[in-house]
A and B are shown apart, each in its own frame.
Chain A
């Protein structure tokens, strides 16, 4: 195990989170949620894990091409943070994006079909694994260039603020409201200029964007402290831009929600940005081709011991939790858990079957979706036209 991973997730910042640690005021936010919401979170996390497992299989069978970065181990982050915002709060993420898409409500079928490069995919087979877009669910991508999505997330929140401040209405003419945006990034993106420019603009203009660093300790094979300064306290980076910084544990989704939701509420009310060092871990390699020489099996096993799905499942199956006591028994029993797992397996199996059966994009789609207002003579090699309607629209 590298010294870094020990420091980052072990003896270092994780244990001593310092004064900026998000403290839930009074009642934990999750206490207000019905039991069914927690069960839904468990289902969502199971769905993501199953989905990624089937992606890996299909990738190995060469049915999925390109780069493929799996989210296994980080499920609580997408599920817990997305549960903390409104459905119409815009979000944007990097290329490890299947989890966010599913947590936002994209159907596994549309997501898997995109992996397969099929016309039924969320981007009609034009985006691929790294570029999952879902307009009805306010997911503004899936972005492949490390850090490039962070100014976009800033612009999304800028626009949301502009709606109520300048337009006095939504861009569609509806009522305006105070929103926040979520801009996810990996710890590797901490070192990209785009992020620092974005954070400076957010601090300067008071833009309600929340930068969520999914700090899984590595960017490819580079342990975080080999790539960035102040790895033991990333909030210092936010300090420099006048942005509220927090460290949040991303292994237990309920505790994540309890710490993250108050930050969201604050950003929304104050219309100010925030920066979250969200501690998490990826179980699998960086992408499908990663011999993982930079970390030990022991380290991976140690983190699997804190597995977020196990943690939530046992929380829901416990007879001693306050919730269980209040309702006079555990929320889930073994049979219910198994039923949930079976349901999710079946849903993903169907998604794979549908993706396999779906048609590939027509060759005519090559020249579509380049312009909304295509004109003659934009290209010497072909005329741009309008394509089929995106299946999500």
Chain B
């Protein structure tokens, strides 16, 4: 379990600007995930993201938002709607279609002492900025021998599901989590989206924040107050003794559906919403596996060298003797993303595939 409050580099004052806000106090208790009936504040995932950015931009003038169509168009997916009106064109900045250029601009600006939020219309398009985000962002602190960090938040849509075909359906976490030096955040619901994005903006390290276009319209209770969800702390969404279901981002919702269906047959899972991939709350996974003896990892990346592979490897390394069945994984099928609706559905993880894996693990 990640410790509540950070142990920062003792040299941090020589590396980050003196006007930066402190890290949030993670010892503060989080507001309830679910509100009492009738007291919910139901807002969309996209509004939760906007609220997180706006709150932090009001706090810290160093924070700015740069990306394609974020300002005058109000966001390709309306995440930044209205932000131009509040913060003006010097802080909500439309960029041309120039991912490598503006990602690199953000690197320079962050080294200098600003706090950029870079919106990729889709993480699929971040591939043309791969040199900046994989070669420069995660390595700057190391390469400079601890002289400059690179605290940029890169965020945008990740994952398939909208029939966009293979170029537009990337799940970059499989590729990018291989690289040391960034934190990778992947919320599954509006409450987490707000609390995790606020933490990302306040963090002193670079963060890749993976959203899903499929979920932007999802509504859930999001507290109006400010709150910060610590990285590296999974959220146990359902409790059950039969099998451990581990997932990240959108497929967490499929796991919840699978669990609901399985409960009708008396099979109950621990459903762990990991919230962040790096750091990975492996301790919560191990704790659950020790209880259930079974593990199914659900991951929207391709299976080969995926996040699921990593989770299973770590579990085998640390809890081999506790396993009653070999760990299983449900990934997307190992092919380019197809367009046809039925094929795409076949390609993605879904509640039926997840439930089948749980049953297989239990021999039922």
Contact = CB atoms under 8 A, between A and B. Distances in A.
Interface of A: 90, 92, 121-127, 131, 133-135, 140-141, 143, 145, 148, 150-160, 162, 165-167, 169, 171-173, 181, 193-194, 197-198, 200-201, 204-205, 368-380, 386-387, 389-390, 392-393
B149 A372 contact: yes
Nearest to A167: B61
Contacts of A204: 96
Interface stretch (B9-17, B43-51, B259-267): B9-17
Contact of B146 (A167, A172, A387): A387
Interface centre among B2, B98, B143, B183 (most CB of A within 10 A): B143
Contact of A378 (B95, B100, B136, B279): B279
B64 interface: yes
A371 B205 contact: yes
B181 interface: yes
Contacts of A134: 147
B23 A373 contact: yes
Contacts of A172: 17-19, 113
A371 B147 CA distance: 12
B108 interface: yes
Nearest to B310: A380
A251 B15 CA distance: 37
B109 A148 contact: no
Main secondary structure of the interface of A (DSSP, over half): loop
Nearest to B313: A380
A171 B17 contact: yes
A375 B2 contact: yes
B contact face: mostly helix, strand, loop, or mixed: loop
Contacts of A375: 2-3, 6, 183, 231-232, 279
B204 interface: yes
Contact of B131 (A123, A124, A160, A194): A194
B145 A193 contact: no
A154 B110 CA distance: 12
Interface stretch (B160-168, B187-195, B280-288, B355-363): B280-288
A178 to B, nearest CB: 15
Contact of B109 (A131, A156, A193): A156
6 closest A-B pairs (Cβ-Cβ)? A155-B108, A151-B104, A197-B101, A171-B113, A123-B145, A159-B112
B141 A393 contact: no
A389 B101 CA distance: 32
Contacts of A153: 108
Given A162-B109, A171-B62, A380-B310, 16 more contacts: A126-B144, A126-B145, A134-B147, A152-B108, A158-B105, A162-B114, A166-B90, A171-B112, A201-B105, A204-B96, A372-B9, A373-B6, A378-B180, A380-B314, A390-B146, A393-B15
25 contacts: A122-B145, A127-B144, A133-B145, A133-B147, A151-B107, A156-B112, A158-B108, A158-B109, A159-B108, A166-B90, A167-B62, A171-B18, A171-B112, A172-B17, A172-B19, A173-B19, A194-B104, A200-B96, A374-B7, A376-B279, A378-B232, A378-B280, A380-B310, A387-B146, A390-B11
